[in-house]
Amino acid sequence: MPLTSPKELLADAYRNRYAVAAFAAHNMEMMRAVVEAAEEAGAPVILQTTPATLRYAGLESIVAMARAAAEGAKVPVALHLDHGDTFETVVRCLRAGYTSVMVDASRLPFLENAAFVAKVTEAAHAAGVPVEAELGTIGGAEEGGAGEEELTDPEAAEEFVRRTGIDFLAPAFGTVHGVYKGEIRLDFSRLEAISRRVGLPLVMHGASGVPGEMIRRAIARGVSKVNFSTELKRAFVRQLRNYLSNHPEETDPRRILLPAREAVKQIAKRKIEIVSGVVP
C-alpha cells in the first residue's frame, strides 16, 4: 500500500487508547527491520527521519526506500520528519512526499515558537499533511532531563494549539532524548491535564529505556504516538561490533549487516506490542 497519513492512524489510536510506534530509521537496514517488525506484530508503524538523516542518506533516497517498504507491506506505514529545524527543510519534505512533519522551535520564546509553527502548519495543511510540534523542553539524558520550569504548562499548551492549528502535540512531561542515566520521573498528572486542555493526540518523545508499564500509563492519558530511537541505534551498533569481533575476516556487507537488522527488528517488534497493548 502507499505511504499512509498518520492523521487517521493517530485519530483511531486516540479514540481507542493505544498508540502507534514511531522509529528513527537512518538507513535501508533499519527501515526494513522496522517494517518487518510491524508486519509481524500486525500493527501500523511510522518511519521517522531527522534533518541529520536527510543529510546523511539524501532526501530522495529516503523517500524512495520508505515508499518501497510501504508498498510491499501488509500494514500501514507512514513517513515522518522528526525535529524539522527550518521552514525550508519542512517544505522540501512536503514536496518529496512525507506524510507528516514535526517542527521543533521549542527553544524559542513562546510567541516566536507559536508563530513559526503556525507558518509551517499553514504550508503543511495546504499540502494535506498533518503537523506535530513540541512545547516545553524535552532534554537529553546527559542533561538530566528538563527542570520544572521547562515542562509544558497545560494552559500554555491549550493556547499553543489554538495559535498554531497543529494536529499533534509533543509535551514535555519528564522524558529525555537518549537513555536515562538515573531514576525515571514522569509527570502523569501534568500529562493528563494537558490532554484534557488540548483534546489532541499527544506524542511521547524520548521513550527509549522507559518501562512498558510507564508507557502504557502515558497512553492512558492521551499519548497516541511513541517515539523510539536510541535503543535501536545501540542494538544496531552492538550487533555490528559483535559480528565483526567474531568474524574479523568477513568482507561481505550483507552478512555483516544482517544480524544488526535482526536486532533492530526484535526491539521494534517488542515496542510495537507494548504501545498497541498486546503485551504489558
Per-residue pLDDT reduced to its tens digit, 38-60: 999 999 999 999 999 999 999 99
**Is 207 among the annotated ligand-binding positions?**
yes
Quote the domain boundaries for residue 22. 6-275
Give the number of domains in the chain. 1
| Banded pLDDT at 175 (limits 50, 70, 90) | confident
User: Which residue among the candidates 82, 153, 167, 187 is catalytic per the annotation?
Assistant: 82
Q: Does residue 236 contact residue 268 with C-beta atoms inside 8 Å?
A: no
Alpha carbon distance 44, 6 (integer Å): 9
Alpha carbon distance 34, 73 (integer Å): 11
Q: Residue 280 falls within a domain, yes or no?
A: no
**Is 153 among the annotated ligand-binding positions?**
no
**Is 224 among the annotated ligand-binding positions?**
no
- Report phi then psi at 223, rounded to 5: -75, 125
102: pLDDT strictly greater than 60: yes
Q: Residue 1 falls within a domain, yes or no?
A: no
Q: Residue 222 falls within a domain, yes or no?
A: yes
Q: Residue 112 falls within a domain, yes or no?
A: yes
Q: Residue 199 falls within a domain, yes or no?
A: yes
The confidence score (pLDDT) of residue 157 equals 98
The confidence score (pLDDT) of residue 224 equals 98
**What is the CATH number for 59?**
3.20.20.70
82 is catalytic: yes
Q: Residue 248 falls within a domain, yes or no?
A: yes
Q: Residue 267 falls within a domain, yes or no?
A: yes
**Is 205 among the annotated ligand-binding positions?**
yes
Q: Residue 219 falls within a domain, yes or no?
A: yes
Residues 6+ apart with CB under 8 A from 116: 87, 103, 105, 108
The pTM (predicted TM-score) of the whole model is 0.93
| Banded pLDDT at 144 (limits 50, 70, 90) | very low
**Is 276 among the annotated ligand-binding positions?**
no
